[in-house]
Amino acid sequence: MGLFNRLIAKVRGTSSASAVEWSEIESELLASDLGPTLVSALLAEAKKLPGDDVENAMKEILRSKLSRKSRAISSGDSTQIVLVVGVNGTGKTTSVAKLATRLHEEKQSVLLGAADTFRAAAVDQLTTWGDRIGIETITGKEGAEPASVAFDSAKRAIDENVNYLLIDTAGRLHNKNDLMAELGKVRRVVEKVAPVSEVLLVIDATTGQNGLMQAQIFSEAVEVTGLIVTKLDGSARGGIALAIESSLDIPIKFIGTGEAATDFAAFEPEKYLDGLLA
Amino acid sequence: MFQTLTSRFAGAFGTLRSRGKISEKDIELAIEEIREALLEADVALAVVESFTENVQNHALEILPTLQAGSNQAEAIYSVVNKELTEILGGGARRIRFAKKPPTVIMLAGLQGAGKTTLAAKLAKFYKDQGETPILIASDLQRPNAVNQLQVVGQSVGVPVFAPEPGNGIGNPVKVARDGVQFATSKLHSMVIIDTAGRLGVDAALMQEAIAIRDAVTPDEILFVVDAMIGQDAVKTAQAFQDGVGFDGVVITKLDGDARGGSALSIAALTGRPIMFASVGEKISDFDIFYPERMASRILGMGDVATLAEQAKKAFDGDTAKKLEDKFSSGEDFTLDDFLEQLEAMSKMGSMGKLLSMLPGAGQMKKQIENFDESEITRTKAIVQSMTPLERRDLKVLNGSRRARIATGSGRKVSDVNALVDKFTAAQKMMKQMRNGGSIPGMPPMPPMPSGMRGPGGAAKAPQKKKSKSGNPAKRALENGSIS
Ligand SMILES: Nc1nc2c(ncn2[C@@H]2O[C@H](COP(=O)(O)OP(=O)(O)O)[C@@H](O)[C@H]2O)c(=O)[nH]1
Ligand SMILES: [Mg+2]
């Protein structure tokens, strides 16, 4: 039983928790990176309830913060173009590989686009993954314009009529206006060929309150349609993702739980909530 | 960096400064604000509690010894500053060089923290100081990490010891051991070992890091951590300390807008100093971490060195010129322009403070004292918490965005609303002015936050007869706000 559950157990049966217990619950919630604002709101709601119901009530309140949008990856008859974006080191390239593996196993035809032309050896990293999976990776010359690589991959994907094109992009901090503009251009250029059906923002589960700003600014630049939360195999519980869902209504679609191609799963809300309150 | 934290502190101290005689209650309120700010900045709760408790105790201790007057706030402020500096690592510590070269530095950290890039930056940093570093590619895990190290090593002209291809092939412990041997035989003065990212909870991989450590007995193990990390910083740092152990911390990605409170947590909980900061993707975006500077920065004081650099920018008049051009070309005055104005103003403000210390500056002193910088900082914080889109187009500011901005800047939603209203009104006024034909050479007046009226935020600053300021924002201030 996790610390949180023990606290809940203490509260159970009493008409209400003591100030000390509430402050312990507060610190557990804060430790999940839900953020002080969301935590105070949660506590305010929970304090109105009798002790017996706190555990369920807390979960119910958290559940109500989740997005109601679909968590499935976009699908259709035409080629689905998926753009994967995020700040540096969150696990974009690995997530592209994992998603490709999953789609490939579902017998979908997949093409990779290596539009991270910035980081040293990033193209090789993606190509290595592509080779392992047995799918093709479209690359440009080193230092090529990311938009032009994205454009070329989109053309190839449409020509070959593949089911999915997954485009990996360079990591960028959201406060760098020029890099965000570059990303906007990648999207616009791809859309000259075909519509982008999905933009997935990769959020590292260890991210703190800055994640909200990341999500907001990436959304403004390229209209994020879903989140991938990575590194949930660590000690971080990834509460920032819930804070993002609740404030921006962007659904978490997948989670990453390791470095192997198969350490990847569709997001399961109940499991996640259990983890948050573990 | 640390921007929002800075503005929160500045807010708390602005309030203190505006009091004639600070009471215990005032201190408590300021502490409460500091607590919220630190939590919002991802500082671990345990650290927040002990930090605020210490500050409160010290502040209350010195309170009776303080005379009424403006120095009180500064005294309290220096308590916070000192406490913060201490946590961040006291005086900056440098790398311990080995008595018998090579000096061996091992990097450790989570996946994606930025170790590989950092390895190259560190190598370049010491190469420029006359060392002859070599990089060792012991991250054999992540696809093409070896490759990446070779590329970045080459770009800084530092050799890379990489006998194994990586991608899961090769023994990282053996590579590290052979690498140090190779470096010794080739008389390299420094060895920097890049290792695979690993989670604190991954016992097997932690064991591997320990094995590397034991094989090469490093002079320094540096824990590399991303400035964006949240509350997990505590568990992870603890796990690394209990596992492989580390002697110092490097924070990366400090060029982002994360508040970086985790740095405080890690330093406080492990007692290990933060030694370097990585501030961008270019190899040269790297510096020694200066705790005193950083603490001052966090507190919104700025340090003299930075100030001197910024003064040049503030006084070159570019801002005013740009704004004038913009105005006459018929473009809308945006919040970004406004922010630039505020920035120039606060630079002038701090500059003024510096100037007032110079002999013969008595005349200016009064004006300078009436300049309430904290209000500018607070207004700046609101604008800085807006996204570029929001700054361009205020119409998108719905309730949830306003709430986010309020949280981010540590202000109330009503403060955000007030700024938006005033700004919209000013924008409209400027349009009308323009349509009615503007006065050449007369740039527009941005709206001023209502509190910007000298100490206490109540009385108006003494009105000057005629503005001499070439800076429109400053002139608007002199003329009283248009609110
Ligand atoms: N433990 C763990 N590591 C991950 C996960 N996803 C990615 N990584 C690792 O994080 C590091 C950065 O990943 P990468 O895909 O290169 O990030 P990018 O810079 O965003 O493309 C690599 O070492 C990956 O192996 C995950 O879900 N769990
Ligand atoms: Mg990548």
Domain boundaries, chain A: 5-65, 80-277
Higher pLDDT, B284 or B338: B284
Q: Which residues contact B316 (CB under 8 A, 6 or more apart)?
A: none
Same domain, B270 and B174: yes
Instruction: Let me know if residue B473 belongs to a domain.
Output: no
Q: How many CB atoms lie within 10 A of CB B371?
A: 21
Residues 143-172 of A with CB under 8 A from B: none
pLDDT of residue B46: 86
| B235 contacts A89? CB cut-off 8 A | no
pLDDT of residue B310: 39
Residues 181-210 of A with CB under 8 A from B: 204-210
**Residue that finishes a domain, picked among B258, B285, B301:** B301
Interface membership of B386 toward A (CB under 8 Å): no
Instruction: Let me know if residue B94 belongs to a domain.
Output: no
Q: What is the DSSP string of B268-298?
A: HHH-PPEEEEE-SSSTT-EEE--HHHHHHHH
* Burial readout B139-163 (b: 16 or more C-beta within 10 A, e: otherwise): bbbbbbbbbbbbbbbeebebbbbbe
Interface residue of B49, B144, B160 to substitute, partner A, most A CBs within 10 Å = B144
Q: What is the dihedral of CA B42, B387, A214, A157, to 10 degrees?
A: 180
Q: What is the Å distance from ligand 2's center to A226 Cα?
A: 18
Atom in ligand 1 nearest the alpha carbon of residue B202:
1
Q: Which residues contact A144 (CB under 8 A, 6 or more apart)?
A: A117
* Whole-number Å distance between alpha carbons of B204 and B220: 22
| Token pair in block for residue B42 | 């991802």
Residue found under tokens 């000690």: A235
pLDDT of residue B465: 37
By CB atoms closer than 10 A (0-12, 13-18, 19+), residue A88 is buried
Q: Which ligand is nearest to the CA of B144?
A: 1
Residues B269/B200, Cβ–Cβ less than 8 Å: no
**Residue that finishes a domain, picked among B432, B451, B475:** B432
Same domain, B328 and B255: no
Q: Which of B22, B224, B270 is nearest to B120 (CA)?
A: B224
pLDDT band of residue B392 (cuts 50, 70, 90) is: confident
Q: What is the Å distance from ligand 2's center to B115 Cα?
A: 14
Instruction: Let me know if residue B161 belongs to a domain.
Output: yes
pLDDT, mean of residues B326-333 = 62
Q: Which residues contact A6 (CB under 8 A, 6 or more apart)?
A: none
The beta-carbon neighbor of B230 closest among A27, A120, A207 is A207
Q: Which ligand is nearest to the CA of A120?
A: 2
Same domain, B253 and B130: yes
User: Cis omega (within 30 of 0) on the bond before B102?
Assistant: yes
Residues B172/B108, Cβ–Cβ less than 8 Å: no
Residues in chain B: 483
Instruction: Let me know if residue B437 belongs to a domain.
Output: no
pLDDT, mean of residues B379-399 = 86
Shortest Cα–Cα distance, B461 to chain A (Å): 36
Maximum mean pLDDT: which of A215-229, B1-15, B37-51, B440-454? A215-229
pLDDT, mean of residues B195-211 = 95
* Burial readout A175-189 (b: 16 or more C-beta within 10 A, e: otherwise): bbeebbebbebbbeb
**Residue that finishes a domain, picked among B87, B119, B140:** B87
CATH number, domain of B420, equals: 1.10.260.30
Interface membership of A218 toward B (CB under 8 Å): no
Give Cα B175 to chain centroid, integer Å: 37
**Residues A56-115: tens digit of each pLDDT:** 778 888 999 999 999 999 999 999 999 999 999 999 999 999 999 999 999 999 999 999
Higher pLDDT, B100 or A278: B100
Residues 93-132 of A with CB under 8 A from B: 118-122, 124-125, 128-129
Q: How many structural domains is chain B composed of?
A: 3
Residue B63 pLDDT exceeds 50: yes
pLDDT, mean of residues B424-430 = 72
By CB atoms closer than 10 A (0-12, 13-18, 19+), residue B398 is exposed
pLDDT, mean of residues A196-208 = 97
CATH number, domain of B79, equals: 1.20.120.140
Same domain, B396 and B331: yes
**Which residue range(s) make up the domain with B145?**
103-301
Residue B225 pLDDT exceeds 90: yes
Same domain, B372 and B294: no
Q: Could you report the predicted ipTM of this complex, rounded to two decimals?
A: 0.89
Q: What is the Å distance from ligand 2's center to A204 Cα?
A: 13
Same domain, B324 and B295: no
pLDDT of residue B460: 33
Instruction: Let me know if residue B123 belongs to a domain.
Output: yes
pLDDT band of residue B59 (cuts 50, 70, 90) is: confident
Instruction: Let me know if residue B188 belongs to a domain.
Output: yes
pLDDT of residue B330: 59
Same domain, B233 and B124: yes
Closest chain A CA to residue B114: A89
Cα end-to-end distance, chain A, whole Å: 7
* Whole-number Å distance between alpha carbons of B176 and B9: 45
Residue B462 pLDDT exceeds 70: no
Average pLDDT, chain A: 90
Half-sphere exposure of B350 (CA within 13 A, CB side): 26
Residues linked to residue A104 through DSSP beta bridges, in sequence order:
none
pLDDT band of residue B66 (cuts 50, 70, 90) is: confident
Q: Which residues contact B178 (CB under 8 A, 6 or more apart)?
A: B161, B163
CA-nearest residue for atom 17, ligand 1, is A91
Same domain, B239 and B217: yes
Amino acid at the residue B164 = E
Q: Which ligand is nearest to the CA of A256?
A: 1
Same domain, B41 and B179: no
pLDDT, mean of residues B171-182 = 97
* Whole-number Å distance between alpha carbons of A206 and A218: 18
* Whole-number Å distance between alpha carbons of B57 and A81: 59
Q: Residues lining ligand 1, CB < 6 A?
A: A 86, 88-94, 171, 230-231, 233, 256-259, 263; B 111-112, 142, 197, 199
E-strand ranges in chain A read 80-85, 110-115, 136-138, 164-169, 198-204, 226-230, 252-256, 264-266
Lowest mean pLDDT among A24-38, A44-58, B99-113, B233-247: A44-58
Interface residue of B169, B199, B228, B334 to substitute, partner A, most A CBs within 10 Å = B228
Lowest mean pLDDT among A41-45, B30-34, B207-211, B246-250: B30-34
Interface membership of A28 toward B (CB under 8 Å): no
Q: Which residues contact A93 (CB under 8 A, 6 or more apart)?
A: A116, A122, A125, A126, A129, A168
| A210 contacts B114? CB cut-off 8 A | no
Atom in ligand 1 nearest the alpha carbon of residue B143:
25
The beta-carbon neighbor of A88 closest among B148, B239, B253 is B253
* Pairing assessment for the beta strands A252-256 and A264-266 based on DSSP bridges: antiparallel
* Whole-number Å distance between alpha carbons of A253 and A5: 27
Its pTM stands at 0.76
Higher pLDDT, B444 or A173: A173
| A236 contacts B112? CB cut-off 8 A | no
DSSP structural state of residue A207: B
Higher pLDDT, A214 or B425: A214
Average pLDDT, chain B: 75
Residue B207 pLDDT exceeds 70: yes
Instruction: Let me know if residue B441 belongs to a domain.
Output: no
Which residue among A228, A259, A262, A264 has the greatest number of ligand 1 atoms within 8 angstroms of its CB, and so is best to mutate? A259
Q: Which fold is adopted by the domain A80-277?
A: Rossmann fold (3.40.50)
pLDDT of residue A160: 97
SS (H, E, C) B349-410: HHHHHHHHCCCCCHHHHHHHHCCCHHHHHHHHHHHHCCCHHHHHCHHHCCHHHHHHHHHHHC
Lowest mean pLDDT among A223-237, B165-179, B286-300: B286-300
pLDDT of residue B32: 78
The beta-carbon neighbor of A208 closest among B112, B141, B231 is B231
Residue A141 pLDDT exceeds 80: no
Same domain, B295 and B392: no
List the alpha helices (DSSP H) in B186-278: 203-216, 232-242, 261-270
Higher pLDDT, B341 or A97: A97
**Residues B355-381: tens digit of each pLDDT:** 433 333 333 344 444 555 566 777 888
Using CA atoms, how far residue B25 sits from B28, B37, B57, B60, in Å, is: 5, 19, 13, 10
pLDDT of residue B91: 58
Q: What is the DSSP string of B315-338?
A: HT-HHHHHHHHHHHTTPPP-HHHH
Same domain, B267 and B321: no
Q: Which of A37, A206, A101 is nearest to B201 (CA)?
A: A206
Interface membership of A43 toward B (CB under 8 Å): no
| Token pair in block for residue B27 | 């201190």
pLDDT of residue A42: 85
pLDDT of residue B93: 74
Interface residue of B111, B282, B334 to substitute, partner A, most A CBs within 10 Å = B111
pLDDT of residue A106: 96
pLDDT of residue B355: 41
DSSP structural state of residue A235: S
